[in-house]
Amino acid sequence: MDFDLDSFISVENIINTIFNGVPLFPDPKGTEMLPPTRSQGSQDASVTLTPTPTLTSTATSCSTSIYSLGRIHRSESSPSSLSTQSGDDAHEQVRSEDVGPPQLDKAPSAYTDNSIQLLLAPDMDMSSAIALSQTLKKKNGKRSHELAFGDDESSMHLSQHISVDKACELPEKHLRDELVKLYFTRFHPFCPIIDEVEFMEIYNDVKDDGQLRRRISLPLFHAMMNVAFGHLPSARIRSTPYKSIYEGQRAYFEKASLLYRMRHTSDHLILTKVALLLTYWSPFDAEYQVNNYWIDRAFYHARAITLWDPEGVATSRRYRITWWCCLLRDRLVSIALRRPYRIHEAKSTWPIVNEADFGLEVMFPKFMIARTKRTMIDSFIWLCKLSDIMRDIAVFHEKNRFDREWSNSLIGSTTILAEELQVSQFHIQLRDWKEGYLKLNGEYIKSLTPGSSKMPNYVLIICDSVRATLYVPYIHCPPGSGQVVQRFQKVALHRIKTASSEIASHCSKISEVSKVGEEFMVGIIAWIALPMAVFKVLDETDGDVSNETNGRCYKKFVPFLSALAVRFRPARLLADIMCEGTSEIVDRSMKLGLGRKDVQHRLPNFYSLRPSDVVDRSKNGAEASRSKDVEEAEILNCVAKMVDLRFSTDGST
């Protein structure tokens, strides 16, 4: 069945899904339907729209190539289509053994673009083939995401198909140097898969572009440029070949992904790192769940060299860091984007990383003082510990999701007591984690300074967001539920408000002293979405939270989100959800009377109850206050579901 993603993710259809259970789809006879973009295999997410030709060409071997940065191997054959190459090795490519999934058909097919003729081997998975064979759906001559964000940016002016020569081009040296610095100061602490000391020794030693191509893997370098470009100062963009952050990131993403598919290197360790870096690409367009696709590829290459097993690989501590980066990124994306079913069942005999695994990087950092470097490393280690708790929570919620959301049955006291006990244990784990983390990094977090790394603050926001998410399933209480369920609903609402207030405080303080758009990765929006929804609902319903959360906090989020929205499309989408979608849901919820006594009498038949079985909770002041809490909880439940649907179905973050 054809699936119209654009229609499904519209605010109107999400609202109808929440309230009525079935989204409204347009008449397929009168509307061009979006082609299916998911396969039936394990890699069920669409990928880049870049073409994926397989190229055989010559390469220059180099004895100084570093294993952790990529190897280059000589191939004997070269297609005539590249016979015009000059003596310079600027556009030399590598042909090596296959690194993709098993090939079903070895017969190559001809692929021709406007500039060069290449051979396209049909060895990619089905989702890749669909993504490459279809163009984005257009409405009135515009692509779907141009309709959402306007066409003021020139992002789509980039060619959908880049040539091999273009993919091998490096940024000019001044820009390249700046992006390398931004990579290690802004991004590297979150995903330390590159040995900073080793990389910079090689990078500073190269004399020209040719040496750089020989000594550092090109797809890896382009992937590094892709994530670093997201932190480039806005004033600097005017002096680059690109007109926006999105355009620059997309250009480097296309280069890296094309070289990846051309098998520029057969080194599975390098390919693991390339795939991990490409998970940070956030187009928010028809590239459905693109992050999860690249995570799948990272695990594919990691397992190819048994990266998870210390006995299966060389004794390199960087292997342990790389494997934990795979686990961490998988959990962060799956949980932040409300896709817990995508978490890999990945077990590791490696223990959690420690400071010694970072080697010389601890004592001889290239871009910050040693004390700050240790703080960044400690934050990464503690984030790995937090991810273990996050994974357990996600699995627990997913296990109970069907009975809670789809079974149409009341929640029994025995069931809710068992779940309440487990939730309490998770709450204690998160509390203990936070206490230990603040004891170690609390001083750094409090002493915010412009230009300093905000990774410790980012990690703290993730923890508080997980605390709020832990209680979200319990803010919905079906009519007729017992007193235990009703009581836990109030507890859940209170703890969600408290955690959200702490996140609002973090964001407000950070906005005062930081350039949020340049110092934070766009992925932060997934962790502040629920807290923003909490205070948007309270703002719309005139909810009083002064006793629990030190006053209303929605306005504290606005500067933080606005700084990100100027640079990143996903942030603009979240702003749109908060401003339009939330207001509409609140309005419709108020009209339906969610949580009020009238809805208690309109819904009993759905649960096979008699109206007399439902208690009127508006008889006195205490009961009226409880009714207000119920109303806030039920409306927040609807808004939270809308946010979940948008993040889980829209492109990526």
Instruction: Give ∠ CA 614-619-623 in degrees, rounded to 5.
Output: 80
pLDDT 10s digits, 182-197? 999 999 999 999 999 9
174 in Cβ contact with 164 (< 8 Å):
no
**CA-based nearest residue to 551, from 498, 496, 509:** 498
Which amino acid is it at 388? D
325 in Cβ contact with 301 (< 8 Å):
no
Q: Are strands 117-120 and 109-112 parallel, antiparallel or unpaired?
A: antiparallel
Distance CA 23, CA 58 (A): 53
* CB burial of residue 497 (10 Å; 0-12, 13-18, 19+): buried
**CA-based nearest residue to 545, from 580, 500, 508:** 500
Distance CA 358, CA 377 (A): 8
pLDDT 10s digits, 514-552? 888 888 888 898 999 998 888 888 877 765 544 444 445
Other C-beta atoms lying within 10 Å of the C-beta of residue 485: 21
3-state secondary structure of 54: strand
With 0.85 as the threshold, say if the pTM is over it: no
330 in Cβ contact with 363 (< 8 Å):
no
3-state secondary structure of 142: strand
pLDDT 10s digits, 356-407? 999 999 999 999 999 999 999 999 999 999 999 999 999 999 888 877 776 6
The mean pLDDT value for 129-135 works out to: 38
pLDDT 10s digits, 479-528? 777 888 888 989 999 999 999 999 998 998 888 888 888 888 888 989 99
Other C-beta atoms lying within 10 Å of the C-beta of residue 370: 12
Ranges 274-283, 311-320, 427-436, 598-607: which has the least confidence:
598-607
DSSP 305-330: TTTT-GGGS-S-HHHHHHHHHHHHHH
Q: Residue 398: which H helix or E strand, with range?
A: helix 370-405
Helices 11-20 and 621-649, axial angle in degrees (round to 10): 130
Read off the pLDDT band of 450 (50, 70, 90).
confident
